[in-house]
Amino acid sequence: MGNSILLKNASIIDGTGSVPYSGHIQIIDDKIVSVSKEEIKPEKENTETINLEGKFIMPGLIDAHCHISFDEPKSNDELFFHRREGLAAIIAGTNALKVLQSGVTSFFDADSLYSVGVDLRDAIESGIIQGPKMAVGGNALITSAGGTAGRLIPDEGKRGYGAVVTSKDEIVLEIRRQIKMGVDWIKIHVSGMVPRQTSEGELQAWSLDELKLACDTAHELGIPVVGHCRGAGSVKDSLLAGMDMILHGTYMDEEGLELMIDKNIPLVPTFTFQANLIDYAERMDASKDYKDIFEKEIQDNVPMFRKAFEAGVPFLCGSETGFSVTPYGDWHYKELEVFVDKLGLTPLEAITCGTKNASQAMRRDDIGVIAEGKVADLLVLSEDPSKDVSVLGNKELIEKVFLSGKEVDLNPAPKRIKDPSGWRISSYSNKILEK
């Protein structure tokens, strides 16, 4: 006896950007088998019929940038030095459920601590624990020049989510090793911060030759490559090397933009981390330096991103969830809001970026839209997100979440009593005693 559900009289926002319409959706097992403005006769006798008059239905959100294994660190020190493998995996499982219950039915985790991402994806796919669909990278490949954690990255070996590669041989070895272990993507930390840099954005930490080698090695085994790129050179060389998706992409120049358009490469700007730090700096007692840098980064890049959007570059919503600034289950929708407020997208366009477009990060074309034959990953809302995307950030307005045709229990899991010992940095004090 298969699962048969008929959703009736809903206002349907299908994820393609089409004007919402009132209609009906028939689900059998995990698939949408029909969508119509006309009445649908229940497919089977045991069909469960749900009347959604006055409600809104859209594809489940897809978060194209989410770090499920980090568990909300407040600093790079905590992230790189205070996480253990077994516990990181167990906790990631509980965080995955939070993400799902907030309306995210798929996410892309570009890099994780140890190999937590691959293991969690496999556990979810096997039905061992409940969570969104996942596409995962392994450890981000970093050169000895470092990434966004600067000196905390060792000269060689592994640390946190990074694998440091010191030669061309090591690039090839690490990529083949990760692909053997089952990653969906290879992630490269193309740019990083060095103390004395003079250029805008971050410094390019990989050469074009190294990037080409990495892309060729991964592509030979059928696996795409994604790059963390902040800075004109890193965007351009990554695209020249054959990279398949760009995270951040800030300070991209005209040449980079031309390449991105020609090659039709998706862009995941990921402004949510910065936007939250700016919006809630006081509440979080956040660093003023970071606030200023991030404010400038958004302002500096809005015109170029707007141009890219208008030129047809696929924009994907990614929230950078996983840090103290972006806790699990709370901010996945916020990138849609930023796209509307800062880049001037309509709510419908932003929804497409968070559903249909974001499915490109999952390398799947059977999710992210409501249409016949697609997987039934759906959200039912009591207010209209096509008028105001912030509806998606209010859990009280998310009435139902369907994952592969099954309704998800939205009762929150029990709250954590405390953090396991050694999990967070424990300071003697927050300030130095002044005499």
The residue among 93 and 227 lying less far from Zn ion, judged by its C-beta, is 227
Residue 65 CB, nearest distance to Zn ion (Å)?
6
The residue among 315 and 402 lying less far from Zn ion, judged by its C-beta, is 315
> What residues have CB less than 8 Å from 179, skipping those under 6 apart?
186, 218, 221, 223
What are 230's strand-pairing partners?
250
Residue 248 CB, nearest distance to Zn ion (Å)?
8
Which two three-digit tokens encode residue 3? Answer: 């699962």
What are 157's strand-pairing partners?
164
Residue 73 CB, nearest distance to Zn ion (Å)?
12
Provide the CA 414 distance to its chain's centre, in angstroms.
25
Residue 63 CB, nearest distance to Zn ion (Å)?
11
d(CA 73, CA 220): 36
d(CA 253, CA 232): 5
Q: What are the distances in angstroms from CA 156 to CA 90, 141, 205, 367?
A: 28, 11, 14, 39
Residue 148 CB, nearest distance to Zn ion (Å)?
9
Residue 322 CB, nearest distance to Zn ion (Å)?
8
Which two three-digit tokens encode residue 270? Answer: 């990921």
What are 358's strand-pairing partners?
none
The residue among 26 and 270 lying less far from Zn ion, judged by its C-beta, is 270
Which two three-digit tokens encode residue 228? Answer: 């963390």
CB atoms within 10 A of CB 142: 29
Residue 109 CB, nearest distance to Zn ion (Å)?
9
Could you say which DSSP state residue 323 is in? B
Q: Torsion angle, CA of 197/201/203/205, rounded to 10 degrees?
A: 160
Burial of residue 255, with CB atoms counted within 10 A of its CB: 0-12 exposed, 13-18 middle, 19 or more buried: middle
Which residue's Cβ lies closest to Zn ion? 320
d(CA 327, CA 322): 5
The residue among 32 and 62 lying less far from Zn ion, judged by its C-beta, is 62
> What residues have CB less than 8 Å from 198, skipping those under 6 apart?
none
The residue among 320 and 335 lying less far from Zn ion, judged by its C-beta, is 320
Residue 114 CB, nearest distance to Zn ion (Å)?
17
The residue among 319 and 357 lying less far from Zn ion, judged by its C-beta, is 319
> What's the length of the chain?
435
Q: Which residues bind Zn ion (CB under 5 A)?
A: 320
Helices (H) and strands (E) in the chain, counts: 13, 20
The residue among 59 and 117 lying less far from Zn ion, judged by its C-beta, is 117
Residue 331 CB, nearest distance to Zn ion (Å)?
13
CB 231 within 8 A of CB 203: yes
The residue among 26 and 319 lying less far from Zn ion, judged by its C-beta, is 319
Residue 153 CB, nearest distance to Zn ion (Å)?
15
Which two three-digit tokens encode residue 105? Answer: 């039915």
The residue among 56 and 323 lying less far from Zn ion, judged by its C-beta, is 323
Could you say which DSSP state residue 335 is in? H
Q: What are the distances in angstroms from CA 117 to CA 89, 225, 424?
A: 8, 16, 21
